[in-house]
Chains A and B, each alone.
Chain A
Amino acid sequence: MSTEAILALSIVVLAFLLIVIFWIWARRSGQPPALRVMPAFRDLPQRTGESVESGKRIHVSLGSGAIGGANTASALAGLNVLEAVAEASTVSDKPPIVTAGDGAAMMLAQNTFRRAYKRQNAEDRYDQLASRLAGTTALSYTAGVMTTLKDEDVSTNIIIGSVGPEVALMADAGWGQKAHQVIGADNVQAQAQAYVAADQALIGEDMFAAGAYLGHKPLHRASLQAQDVLRIVVIAVIVLGPFIAPVLRSAGVIK
């Protein structure tokens, strides 16, 4: 096995162990860990309630990335948000609308919806066409989302998934509808656009914390804590790397 493979495996094993340790720790102490305030997730339940009361729709975009590819995790983060939104809005006359850029992501969104309605004993209100394939390329997806925002009376526009700079066009369409906008993306350029165009932008890895903030599941919180520890480890490696590397090189551990 190459040095890079050993390093990658070590990081995966370390992350796994940290998640398990934090999960056991939370179970034993019975106290959930304190999380910093993230306005986008803090305000989401209130926004959902307001949309339900005003008879308007919430739109959740999972981005144009495909499930099974490099963007799977981003789509899963969007599905975590969808789960929370769907459960809170099952009583609404106008259920939320989800758009995806991939058939598999659309099917997972349908399942997430159906599950939320089933939990609330409201399966008769479940609408299979509330989860939609908006387009299969980045720009056709963008065009599909822009039309959806315009035609469906959307008051809250949540974009969490794999999107590129074209997210600015979607945000502009949302602005035209005076919608409150929350945007999180796995692309650096899209994050810059999100900072400019969104009311609440999720920068960096913030969007992957959706499950911990909205779902309140112990394993989600444990994974968020593991993520924080790993971030400190990465910072330490970057800062100390220039000092440690010559030692490891002279010992023949690295080339």
Chain B
Amino acid sequence: MTSRLLMGIAVLSGITTLILYFVNLQLGLDVRALLVEWVSILAAMALLLGVINLVAVHLRKVGTQAKGWMYSLILFVSFLVVLSLGIVKLAVPANPIGRDGVNFAFNYIQAPVEAALAALLGVVLIVAGARLIYRRRNWGAVFFVLIAAMLLVGVAPLNNLSFMQGLSQWIMQVPAAGGARGILLGIALGVLTTGLRVIMGADRPYGE
């Protein structure tokens, strides 16, 4: 019974939102705005539950001294510190510790760590390219790595290799762009049919 009720609500919400997207009426815009507001509230609640889950996972790791529990402890302590700073910031807006502390944590700890991780991508990709040849010994893999190397040479600032620059530009603008658009069209069709399956009640990740 509950499952059917949930499915009914989901299907009705889906159909209503879809129809209102195409119907340009004030009532429709108001209902859409209301639904979006509800989604925002639910997403905020879900995020809160997600954070509780994150803390619970790491506390369990610390409690059982599972592999990597020291990092979990660091995460938990960091969480408490940033949360305390955030509460101070909200409670006493004039307090510089709360005001600057949260900004410091984001600007001088999280942002540089994320930037460092992103910088690793280049190295990881070159290693992955080498592994591709090792793992898949076929013409497709060789062709992939050759084209990637050609594009890298093409974008390098080498004056005497202007023909390579032209070639790499042609590869990126014609076959690569065409292929990417084809893939994106396919993904769009996949998204469309997945959405319709939810509206038709075939995909019910929320149900019993």
Contact = CB atoms under 8 A, between A and B. Distances in A.
Contact of B206 (A73, A108, A134): A108
Interface in A184-235: 186, 188, 191, 193, 195-197, 199, 203-205, 207-209, 211, 217, 219-220, 223-224, 226-227, 230-231, 234
A169 B187 contact: no
- Give chain B's interface secondary structure class: helix
Give the 8 A-B CB pairs with smallest separation, nearest first: A208-B190, A103-B46, A103-B50, A205-B190, A133-B50, A219-B202, A205-B186, A204-B186
A28 to B, nearest CB: 18
B49 interface: yes
Nearest to B193: A223
A64 interface: no
Interface of B: 18, 22, 24, 39, 42-43, 45-51, 53-54, 56-57, 60-61, 66-68, 71, 110, 113-114, 117-118, 120-121, 124-125, 127-129, 131-132, 135, 144, 180, 182-187, 189-198, 200, 202-203, 205-208
Contacts of A134: 54
Interface of A: 1, 5, 8-9, 11-12, 15-16, 19, 66-68, 72-74, 76-77, 79-80, 100, 102-104, 106-108, 111-112, 115, 118, 128-129, 131-134, 136-137, 139-140, 142-143, 147, 150-152, 165-166, 168-169, 171-172, 175, 186, 188, 191, 193, 195-197, 199, 203-205, 207-209, 211, 217, 219-220, 223-224, 226-227, 230-231, 234
8 contacts: A1-B24, A68-B42, A107-B49, A168-B125, A169-B117, A205-B186, A211-B202, A220-B202
